[in-house]
Amino acid sequence: MGSYIHGEQLNDIHEEPEASTSYAHSSPSDLSPPAALRRSISERPATSSNLLSRLHPPHARQRSCSHVAVDFFDPMGVRRLSHSLAKTPSRAATEVEEAPSLDSEETVIVGEGFDFEKGLRQYLKKRDEAGVKSRRLGVMFQDLRVVGLGATASYQPTLGSLLNPINIIGAIRSARHPALRDIISGFHGVVRPGEMLLVLGRPGSGCSTFLKTLANQREEYHSVEGDVFYDALTPQQILKHYRGDVQYSPEDDIHFPTLTVDQTIHFAAKTRAPHPRIHDQTRSQFTRRITDVYCTIFGLNHVKDTPVGDSSIRGVSGGEKKRVSISETLATRSLITSWDNSTRGLDSSTALEFVRALRIATDLVGNSTIVSIYQAGEQLYEVFDKVCLIYEGRMVYYGPANQARQYFLDMGYVPKNRQTTADFLVSVTDPLGRHTRDEIKMEEGDIEGAKEKKKGVALDHESGSPARTLQPIPHTADEFEAYYMDSEVRKWNLEDMAAYKRDFVDSKEVAAAFEESAKEEHARHTRRQVKIVLLRRVQIMKGNWTAQALQTMTFVLQAVIIGTTFLKIPDTTAAYFSRGGVLFFAVFLPALFTMSEIPALFSQRRIIHRHQNAAMYHPMVEAIAMALVDVPFTFVTVVLFTIILYFVVRLQTSPGQYFTFFIFIFTVSMSMKAFFRGLAAMFRKEAPAQAVAGVLLLALSLYTGYQIPMPSMIGALRWISYINPVRYAFEGIMVNEFHTLDGVCSTLVPSGPGYETVSLANQVCTVLGSQQGQDRVNGNAYVNLSFEYSFSHLWRNYGILVAFGIFFLVCLVFFTEINTAVASESSVILFKRGSKAELVKDAEAAVTSGDDEEKEKPRRPDSQEVMEADEEKAKEAMIDQPKMTNVFSWQHLQYTVNVGGEQRVLLDGVSGYVAPRKLTALMGESGAGKTTLLNVLAERVSTGVIGGNRFFNGQALPIDFQAQTGYVQQMDTHLPTTTIREALVFSARLRQPPSVSVAEKDAYAEQCLKMCGLDSVADAMVGSLGVEQRKRTTIGVELAAKPQLLLFLDEPTSGLDSQSAWAIMAFLRSLADNGQAILCTIHQPSAELFQVFDRLLLLKKGGQTVYFGDVGKNATSVIEYFEAGGARECRPGENPAEFMLDVIGAGATAVSDRDWHDVWLQSKAFTIAEADIERLHEEGRKHPPVGATLKSEFAEPWAYQAKTLIQRSFTCYWRDPTYLMSKLTLNIIGGLFIGFTFFKAKDSIQGTQNKLFSIFMGTILSAPLGGQLHVPYIKMRNIYEIRERSSRIYHWSALVTAQILVELPWNILGSSLFFLCWFWTVGFETSRAGFTYFLFGVLFPVYYTTLALAVASMSPTAEIAGLLYSFVFSFVLIFDGVVQPFSQLNWWKWMYHVSPFTYLIEALVGQAFGHEQINCAEKELVTLQPVSGQSCGSYMARFISQKGGFVTNPDALSDCRFCTFRTTDQWLGPTFNIYYSRHWRDFGIFWAYIIINIFSVYLLTYLVRVRSYNGSSFFRKRIGVLLGKMKK
């Protein structure tokens, strides 16, 4: 595959020696000697001149692992491919580069007479003749040690700790001298081409670190010590020259969701296509055939044109997405690949498909494959050649996979019945999950065996004779490592490493040959990358066309709104100010909307980083491609935007001016896109990038020159305008517009009654730039005096704007190339401050076994003593657990839903029961209805029609059935910043009856804490826990409610490693043994987990029962039932769960020859089950029915619910300093920035306008401040909707009330800080501070808080809430009469009266600086000549009495110096319709808006989130999908 299939390997298949004896039948001393291995290497005949292939030993032949047929996924597709290869080998076979490394007795013969291997041989022969070299790479590591940063446990940061000076000093000290810890140490081994290595270990043991290190991913660690060799190449050489040959694949399948499967694989093939190709095949032909081969072999032909998809865009299935990842990696021709826990979340059949696909890839391509897997089944395990077991960062086994089981048996450990080898290996590293031989013998009463054990003699299992003298059984990681260091396996491993080192590491010829072949293959020009990535970007945009269409529609809508607001603006001087406003919006809106580039860039950052590591292309190429592809889309959007805005407003209509306007808007749009993308590229996290962008956007807005003109800027901050690209664009379109404008003066002074006969010679226009004796004002003069703009700067400004755009693009390219990584996730367990947890003390006091750099947190990082102590406490607490005595049963349960107008039956006549002290499993294949049945039984479905009956003791269910049962969901949904103890106490206080005192509830929560084995981490934050501890917490939360009747669990082991899964099931077993009745769904468990259950209810697709009855010891009852029903025999060692699912046709490739539902209905077991249910009903009806424990829907009254929720929310907010600091910091920075921008505003007309805009800009801060509220509110609401609502913990209105009351104090505090930084800095009078503070510092945050929560209440996601809030905010802001004065709003005047900001602005402005005098600046005074014989004062007296203003020289007889306004009221009233006298009226009206907002929060929550509307649900889903596409 790729470009290299080894003909040498094919030729050697039939000449290699037999595989070594299986270790399952031999002791370590019988291992194949390395000397023999070396002889086989040296004696192996060379069949090719290729040096690399000749030197690699046939090590893969010394394995007995399972092989997978090449046609496993798509037999028909491979048959067609075989036809193609056989008929046209010179063209059709070029996409296959490596021969399958298969057993000598096997060949890959596919189809009718077509030999796939023969076709490959023909191609390889031609390729060798053409001199095309093949490439393979192995890896050897010796004394490998990885050192990480930080401790494994710490304290949860809070706002107090963040502001504590002592902690700040400590943080600085830690930054200078970070705490170090060993993550892994002492590793050594080799992985040869064609080998598959399985890496096993518990979460946190170091598996991910090991895989990343072998894949040369070292940047996130403090240091990597020891030697790692890739044949003769060093890690530094690999990183610099051959990065794409060594890759790490994370467990998540990360792809561009809108690309199809074919496009994803084809793109990878194109970026890494080799330069030399046989028979003059073109690059496009080669990559096309490569893509077809991978899609065929991995069974993806049927989804080639399907989008890959993600959580918001529907695409291929999970198993298919895994195979896409494999195909993409193979298409990039990676030679060594580390796959990290790639089967997590897959069922066992899909996981097996994935590993089989890897086996095919390894065999065909000759790759070196390293895989880490949790819960590996036996069939999956058998696919691997070698296994590495890690225990707390120590390598305790590295050797042949088929010999590992016996190795640990000889050590003294024994597996449980039917335990898989992988689970057994991992279990020996778990102090609570392993069993030694002497423990088993003592339990079985084998005293002699125990005595012999003490003497150090092991007895053979069958003969009972001594096998050999044993060392003491290891228990700690150090002891395990010491045992391994003294073992034959290690000696074999060291000699294997020595052979590899001699033949490859020390061989200069190998390095030279590899370098030569790599040099020939690599793409030679970056411009080819640009072309490939450019096409990919077009495909992404095409697949995501709805997002672009939505963005264009938003621009058009804004153009319509702004255009109609400034509709047909007149050419008179009265519209000069408004004309500047529309031009400001025209240039600023594109900059505002380009902020959305930040989340879009971060959403693809991980994909780009992975592609960079695969050497597919330079990240800067992606940045260039984005910029180029954006040009036509932005061009179309700006054309529509400018045409609508320009001609609706009726700006200057000459073609030259329009096109100048257009080119400025288009250029600023492109420049600002590059600006925000470049800004995002500088950061590793999105939150700081967004915060900095918000501050910079404020600076861009203020220093554009519209709100505060250049002459009014203070000298200390004026420099900002010079580095503001929007300022140059604004100046350009302003001078372009006003250059030809010669507006008629609207305000001639004097005029009006008494001045009808005055000639123009005795009048003057009050607008800046007017000339004495003229009734027109030249636009050039106006912009020059008002803004210091000049038409001569027009194209200079455009050149500067282009220069900014180029600079931003260069920054984008530069930072994208050097900073593609995302911030790594921490796996530190965080404890509540003040907690005396031993874990924190141990972690901070010494270097511990490091956490793993993987998403999975350590399940149990504490010591064995603490674990055992928790177990003892759990057992003691179990004794006091209340026992259940009632039997829950259901008969003939039917459940039907409407799907697309058709009635679909999901449950079909299901019957069964759950008894106390019994653990009942509910199983079936995907789509069988397991979770559906659980939800129907637990009354957690709100749609569909339910038939049949449910009983307790044969009688009706109590009305508070849900309150008397516990339901543990598959997803562990909790507040991340609450502790385990707080979560359990919260559940106990709100769910137990009010008759129980608070002290008793808290005591019972503490008992549940111990019962769940969580005592040692009781004060840990739930969000920092490992998967098993979170699952235990979820169970504990339900137990704390003291369910009287039943406990439901949905997939409690999903996503857990084998030992964590066993620990959870053992805990459930203990609960059942102590009186609990438990019904639990589980998907294809391991054999040992399956044996934990007492009873089984098995369903098939369609919700039909296949079996209900006892499981039996070692699952004998289930096995006997199916074998008696005609199933095949269950093989020895086979997992009974997989056996029964296989025989009923539930596996990935399984089929069934009979209807097992009919078999069940005709079986004796069915008759017995029905009789048992009837008998239980008869006995139960002899007793009184189960009574209700609650008098209402909820256990506690509403006031207590609200009080408890407020306490919880306040605590969680306090522990989220990032959120609170972002809120407070934005207020402080905004206040200082706006305050100093309008610093000490004067009492001139311009100074008064500056004061107005300082208030206006302060209100704009409510947009980002309100937007911050959406995320925490919706997260809290999701927890309620997912888990707490169904559990009847509290009423929805109590949650809404708590959220409002918790947000208000912080927002009021933030606004108070803003007020302190802003009010006196601008220069307002202290006497006006009281009212202004109460309105701006108290009422205004109440308003925007309630408005933002009202919008969030009807929004399904925070993203949609942000869009809606911005849209609503833009409406209320545009029509408040500031940017476009009230007198010129035309038909939008009704919106002026509707907008709450109208009354807010009027109250603030009117009271803050109303009733104050204005003293015009020198340039604001106009000079006019009085009528002959009159003084200036007498001539202007009548006009001043009517219109206001004053004359500075009333006694003069000529050159009267007139100021248009004497008081601020004269300026505010006529121009902005703002009057000081209305501020108390506006205060009351603003209160009304707040009350409306609060009412809307409750009403919209009820209508949209509480009541069920199918239409609104559909609407929410469609918007969610649309927004998901936008984010890509």
Tell me the C-alpha distance between 1090 and 1354, whole Å. Answer: 44
For CA atoms 1058, 1063, 1066, 1068, the dihedral sign is negative
> What's at 313, amino acid-wise?
I
Tell me the C-alpha distance between 47 and 534, whole Å. Answer: 43
Is residue 446's pLDDT more than 60?
no
Q: 1121 falls in which pLDDT band (50, 70, 90)?
A: very high
Is residue 85's pLDDT more than 90?
no
Q: 78 falls in which pLDDT band (50, 70, 90)?
A: low
CB burial class (10 A; 0-12, 13-18, 19+) of residue 240? exposed
Tell me the C-alpha distance between 1422 and 1413, whole Å. Answer: 18
Q: What is the arithmetic mean of pLDDT over 63-71?
A: 57
Segments of 269-361 assigned E as strands: 336-340
Q: 106 falls in which pLDDT band (50, 70, 90)?
A: very low
What's the token pair of residue 1294?
């109590």
Q: What is the arithmetic mean of pLDDT over 266-295?
A: 80
Q: 1501 falls in which pLDDT band (50, 70, 90)?
A: very high
In the beta sheet, which residues pair with residue 1423?
Answer: 1457
In the beta sheet, which residues pair with residue 1046?
Answer: 965
Of residues 1431 and 506, the one with the higher pLDDT is 1431
The mean-pLDDT minimum among 268-282, 288-302, 773-787 falls in 268-282
| pLDDT at position 60 | 38
Of residues 127 and 503, the one with the higher pLDDT is 503
The 10s digit of each residue's pLDDT in 645-674 is 999 999 998 999 999 999 999 999 999 999
The 10s digit of each residue's pLDDT in 1421-1450 is 999 999 988 999 999 999 999 889 999 999
Q: 913 falls in which pLDDT band (50, 70, 90)?
A: very high
| pLDDT at position 363 | 79
Of residues 278 and 243, the one with the higher pLDDT is 243
| pLDDT at position 645 | 94
| pLDDT at position 1225 | 92
Rounded to the nearest integer, the mean pLDDT of the chain is: 81
> What's at 1421, amino acid-wise?
L
- At residue 1376, the 3 state secondary structure works out as coil
| pLDDT at position 442 | 62
From the CB of residue 842, how many other CB atoms can be counted at a distance below 10 Å?
A: 17
Contact 721, 727 (CB under 8 A): yes
Q: What is the arithmetic mean of pLDDT over 1191-1196?
A: 85
Could you tell me the CA-to-CA distances from 1083 to 344, 433, 940, 1095, 1099 in Å, in that order? 13, 21, 20, 15, 11
| pLDDT at position 1339 | 96
Task: Give the HSE-up count for residue 1002: Cα atoms under 13 Å, Cβ half-sphere.
Answer: 4
| pLDDT at position 1502 | 93
Answer whether the bond into residue 976 is a cis peptide, omega within 30°.
no
The mean-pLDDT minimum among 165-179, 717-731, 1296-1310, 1474-1488 falls in 165-179
| pLDDT at position 850 | 38
| pLDDT at position 235 | 92
Contact 612, 528 (CB under 8 A): no
Is residue 726's pLDDT more than 80?
yes
Shortest CA distance to 1527 belongs to which of 1277, 1278, 1353, 1360?
Answer: 1360
The 10s digit of each residue's pLDDT in 301-340 is 888 898 988 766 778 877 678 788 888 887 888 889 998 8
312: DSSP letter: S
Provide CB contacts within 8 A for 886, sequence distance 6+: 916, 952, 953, 1044, 1045, 1077, 1180, 1186
Q: Where are the alpha helices (DSSP H) in 880-914?
A: none
The mean-pLDDT minimum among 249-253, 568-572, 768-772, 890-894 falls in 249-253
Contact 110, 493 (CB under 8 A): no
Q: Which helix H or strand E contains 988, and what residues bound it? A: helix 980-991
What's the token pair of residue 1280?
């309620």
Is residue 52's pLDDT more than 50?
no
Tell me the C-alpha distance between 1372 and 1394, whole Å. Answer: 8
Tell me the C-alpha distance between 93 and 90, whole Å. Answer: 6
- At residue 1110, the 3 state secondary structure works out as strand
The mean-pLDDT minimum among 357-361, 533-537, 692-696, 1122-1126 falls in 357-361
SS3 content of the chain, % helix, strand, coil (to 5): 55, 10, 35
Most confident of 340-344, 848-852, 1484-1488: 1484-1488
Q: What is the arithmetic mean of pLDDT over 1249-1262?
A: 92
Shortest CA distance to 50 belongs to which of 97, 18, 15?
Answer: 97
- pLDDT above 70 covers a percentage of the chain that reads 82
Q: What is the arithmetic mean of pLDDT over 252-267?
A: 90
Q: 738 falls in which pLDDT band (50, 70, 90)?
A: very high
Contact 965, 1047 (CB under 8 A): yes
Tell me the C-alpha distance between 749 and 1457, whole Å. Answer: 11
Q: What is the arithmetic mean of pLDDT over 213-236?
A: 89
For CA atoms 1240, 1243, 1245, 1248, the dihedral sign is positive
- Burial annotation 1304-1332 (CB, 10 A radius, 16+ → b, else e): eebbbbbbbbbbbbbbebbbbeeebbebb
| pLDDT at position 101 | 35
Is residue 1149's pLDDT more than 60?
no
Q: What is the arithmetic mean of pLDDT over 1157-1165?
A: 92
Of residues 1077 and 445, the one with the higher pLDDT is 1077
Q: What is the arithmetic mean of pLDDT over 860-872?
A: 52
Tell me the C-alpha distance between 429 and 349, whole Å. Answer: 26
The mean-pLDDT minimum among 3-17, 85-99, 1123-1137 falls in 3-17
| pLDDT at position 960 | 83
Q: HEC states along 178-229?
A: CCEEEEEEEEEEEECCCCEEEEEECCCCCHHHHHHHHCCCCCCCCEEEEEEE
Backbone angle region of 191, left / alpha / beta, with phi > 0 → left and psi within -120 to 50 → alpha: beta
Tell me the C-alpha distance between 1317 and 1236, whole Å. Answer: 9
The 10s digit of each residue's pLDDT in 1010-1045 is 888 888 889 999 988 887 888 889 999 998 998 888
Is residue 1478's pLDDT more than 90?
yes
The 10s digit of each residue's pLDDT in 953-978 is 888 888 888 888 899 988 888 999 99
Q: 18 falls in which pLDDT band (50, 70, 90)?
A: very low
Is residue 1306's pLDDT more than 90?
yes
Tell me the C-alpha distance between 1173 and 1097, whole Å. Answer: 14
Q: 167 falls in which pLDDT band (50, 70, 90)?
A: confident
The mean-pLDDT minimum among 332-341, 478-487, 539-548, 867-876 falls in 867-876
Most confident of 82-91, 617-626, 700-709, 1477-1486: 1477-1486
Q: 436 falls in which pLDDT band (50, 70, 90)?
A: confident
- Taking each helix axis from N to C terminus, what angle separates 655-682 and 794-818, rounded to the nearest 10 degrees? 20
Is residue 45's pLDDT more than 50?
no
What's the token pair of residue 110?
């596919």
Task: For 459, list phi and psi in degrees, rounded to 5.
Answer: -95, 135
Position of tokens 């020891």?
A: 226
Could you tell me the CA-to-CA distances from 502 to 33, 51, 495, 499, 1512 in Å, in that order? 17, 15, 10, 5, 70
Contact 1325, 1333 (CB under 8 A): no
Q: What is the arithmetic mean of pLDDT over 161-165?
A: 88
